[in-house]
A = this chain, B = another copy of it.
């Protein structure tokens, strides 16, 4: 992750700044200030990209204190500030001379959505630089007040076609201490699900407007919207102490994860409406698994983790970070996947690096998109990764994600405690946690044992090693500096079998290693691009040698015929060659970094 964060800071942020200027999306703010919007460019939600970029900068500045980023941040905040109306309204697409009026298109206009991202940027800034004088929090407060005035109990009885404002208002309420924002968020959550957004081609489910949040049983519809909304509902439930709402969202999450989520953690199996499919509809080749849905899923699972302490939420965060969020950016940080397919069947051309690509149409990672939500979403997530690593409570410290680094914690009324984590995870399974400070009171160190570890994990503490089951392994002591706890996770590569109800991958296995989903990419396979002819021999486990994972395969010799459906199994199924090949696999998130290729995560068995 350190490498990923460095690339994010050094390349992605610069790359995003370049494209935001080039496409004119920052300039739109200047146009509002200048009073002439004839040349406004970009879609109705382009403002949000600037805010997500500000959020990424805020986290990155918090991480490294980079002065160059700080001045870039301040410059953009100044341009945003000048575009804000006197009453706090802030949007470059609506409400000014020559434009449609404010709030005239709640279904598709994304005005509330954009403010949601503005608030999230302000929250990031307030958390990382609470005393900064840049003005972003004040801008956000005026925008939030404007929304409360417009959409409060006596205001417009409406809501946004794209959830985002809900979680943003609660979070902003937390950093400002103003309860009105929570009340407004709760109102937006309750207003959804009654058909106020009307009918669209893909049905009300697209906006989660067909069923109230507290009645729905599963995440459904547009996968980004679904996750953002659920995140907001958890925030509201947590802050208003509403166990019914919390229970509803937990059930929605559980059902979505058990039946509507790819092995990568990716969500959304439909290209048409970027939506969750029905239960068990998880085609790898038409997987949408949108990058931003992965970001939303991390946001949701994090909130549920905080609310419950259940390790399953941290498991999904880990899986999604390693296999969706990490898959989107190229190793150079300058190209991105919008959608993350699990099976690429035909070689695709590299997108033109000088032109924005059309969403999910790019076969390879693209530098920018007409709807360019993923670069900024990836950037803000990578820059804020440290926030997902650990939590504290009265009992002590809980470590959820494993990265090398130092964690400072401790009770409000006591001395700071420090622990240092050292690990080569996920390449190796050993995670060493060293206590760096003496203590005179006992506290509990909890470390997450992922579900994928099965019965294979051990914990060594005080010189004794014991097996630990999935969940949180705990050690409670009065710690001394130099004490060490070592968690060992079984990261040998393994075959993974799908539920028999997932039709699209019946008769297939995936290969995983620790939290990583692996994939076969054609550039590694002797005999070329046609991966569909490989059949895996699962009688032996995958092999790990010199850091390289391989599986044994035979290659089909397909019989071509006029009609692909026949009266006997033998004829169409073709015969396999006698020769066994050792086929190498790579981490799925690394695929498509070596030119056009085909790729498979799920491999048919012999």
Listed in ascending order, the chain A residues whose CB lies under 8 Å from chain B are: 199, 201-203, 254, 257-259, 261, 263, 270-272, 277-281, 283-286, 312, 315, 343, 345-346, 358-359, 361, 451-452, 454, 494-508, 510, 532-533, 556, 558, 560-569, 571-574, 602, 604
Contact = CB atoms under 8 A, between A and B. Distances in A.
A59 B496 CA distance: 58
B500 A201 contact: no
Given A494-B567, A499-B565, 17 more contacts: A203-B361, A257-B562, A261-B564, A278-B345, A278-B346, A279-B345, A281-B285, A281-B286, A315-B563, A497-B572, A497-B573, A499-B572, A499-B574, A500-B558, A500-B572, A501-B532, A501-B533
A358 B561 contact: no
Given A201-B359, A361-B201, A573-B497, A508 B510 contact: no
A353 to B, nearest CB: 17
Contacts of A556: 500-501
Contacts of A558: 499-501
Copies of this chain per assembly: 2
A342 to B, nearest CB: 11
A118 B595 CA distance: 49
A497 B565 contact: yes
5 contacts: A261-B564, A343-B503, A500-B556, A502-B564, A506-B507
Contacts of A561: 258, 499
A500 B574 contact: yes
A320 to B, nearest CB: 13
B279 A567 contact: no
Nearest to A279: B345
A571 B499 CA distance: 8
Contacts of A506: 506-508, 604
Q: Which of A280, A454, A501, A502 has the most CB of B within 10 A?
A: A501
B497 A567 contact: yes
A498 to B, nearest CB: 6
Contacts of A505: 503
A358 B497 contact: no
Most chain B CB within 10 A, of A263, A277, A563, A574, is at A563
Given A202-B361, A563-B258, A567-B495, A503 B504 contact: yes
10 interchain residue pairs of minimum CB distance: A499-B564, A500-B573, A272-B272, A499-B572, A506-B507, A507-B507, A271-B272, A497-B569, A263-B565, A278-B345
